[in-house]
Amino acid sequence: MGKLDGKVALISGGSSGIGLATARLFLDQGARVALLARSIERGGQALQQLQVPASQGIFIACDVRSQVECQQAVEQAVGAFGRLDILFNNAGVIYIERSVLDTSEDQWNETLGVSLTGTYNLSRCAIPEIAKAGGGTIINNSSVFGLVAGQGVAAYCAAKGGVIMLTKAMALDHAGDGIRVNCICPGSVDTPMLQSEMEILGGQESMRPAFAARHPLNRISTPEEIARAVLFLACDDSSFITGAALPVDGGRSVW
């Protein structure tokens, strides 16, 4: 028996990295999943990798910065699967080597728009459906940079710090609807996002040990390790947890 049997989950940024690993784990645990992201091509590739029939997994093109697109995506997911129980607000972008002085207005707006406004947009559209299903869970993807600051990631820190407080506010507001709202705060995770950061900073091979050394466990995590924390917060194993910001960071936020 799966931990998510009968449940329907919507995963933003589901075509890559942490979102894709979470989709795979949710499917293994019996859920049906709707993956949201912008690129239809990468969405199709993700479905192929998951080898999932349309009755269990679909891709919906959606830019989470648009509330209209979020509303259409929620309607499409509920139209396909009949209900919505779980929302993983996971889409995010990062610009590195950017203090406030180096951050353009477009970069600021995109970073805040995807992580923070995107979480608001999708939650606003999904909460009535989750409530209709009798309650459920929302998991937001913050970052270790929502807990402690990093150099050269000013907009990202602002966005991810905002996600933590939005999580707590939503947990209070929707406890009465039977909806638990939590967030995860990952350290460095081996995904295309981190790989392109390492490329910019001098190449993956040379940067990997330096990134690993930022974590007391002295390594980068796999997307699957993050997905397991998302599953914990999505299912009844965490039935008395709401409003939490869970570090999944190999101890990085400790020192």
Ligand X SMILES: NC(=O)c1ccc[n+]([C@@H]2O[C@H](COP(=O)([O-])OP(=O)(O)OC[C@H]3O[C@@H](n4cnc5c(N)ncnc54)[C@H](OP(=O)(O)O)[C@@H]3O)[C@@H](O)[C@H]2O)c1
CB-CB contact of 233 with 139 (8 Å)? yes
Question: Catalytic: which of 88, 156, 211, 232?
Answer: 156
Site size with ligand X, rule: CB under 6 A: 32
- Residue 17 or 133 having the CB closest to ligand X: 17
Instruction: Give yes or no for residue 74 binding ligand X (CB under 6 A).
Output: no
Residue closest to 230 by CA, chosen among 81, 43, 12, 6: 12
Give the separation between CA 114 and CA 118, rounded to whole angstroms: 5
Instruction: Give yes or no for residue 117 binding ligand X (CB under 6 A).
Output: no
CB of 29 to ligand X, least distance (A): 19
Instruction: Give yes or no for residue 167 binding ligand X (CB under 6 A).
Output: no
Residue closest to 1 by CA, chosen among 229, 235, 230: 235
Instruction: Give yes or no for residue 253 binding ligand X (CB under 6 A).
Output: no
- Residue 141 or 253 having the CB closest to ligand X: 141
Give the separation between CA 175 and CA 137, rounded to whole angstroms: 10
CB of 5 to ligand X, least distance (A): 26
Q: Where are the alpha helices (DSSP H) in 175-222?
A: 192-200, 204-213
Give the separation between CA 179 and CA 161, rounded to whole angstroms: 22
- Residue 63 or 129 having the CB closest to ligand X: 63
95 flagged as catalytic: no
216: buried, middle or exposed (CB in 10 Å: 19+, 13-18, 0-12)? middle
CB of 240 to ligand X, least distance (A): 25
CB of 99 to ligand X, least distance (A): 19
Instruction: Give yes or no for residue 90 binding ligand X (CB under 6 A).
Output: yes
Stretch binding ligand X (CB under 6 A), from 3-11, 25-33, 56-64, 165-173: 56-64
Give the separation between CA 85 and CA 83, rounded to whole angstroms: 7
Give the separation between CA 248 and CA 189, rounded to whole angstroms: 10
Instruction: Give yes or no for residue 49 binding ligand X (CB under 6 A).
Output: no
CB-CB contact of 162 with 169 (8 Å)? no
- Residue 179-218 contact track with ligand X, rule CB under 6 A, x = bound: -------x-xx-xxxx------------------------
Instruction: Give yes or no for residue 247 binding ligand X (CB under 6 A).
Output: no
Give the separation between CA 143 and CA 163, rounded to whole angstroms: 9
Catalytic positions are: 156
- Binding interface with ligand X (CB under 6 A): 12-13, 15-19, 36-39, 42, 62-65, 90-94, 114-115, 141, 143, 186, 188-189, 191-194
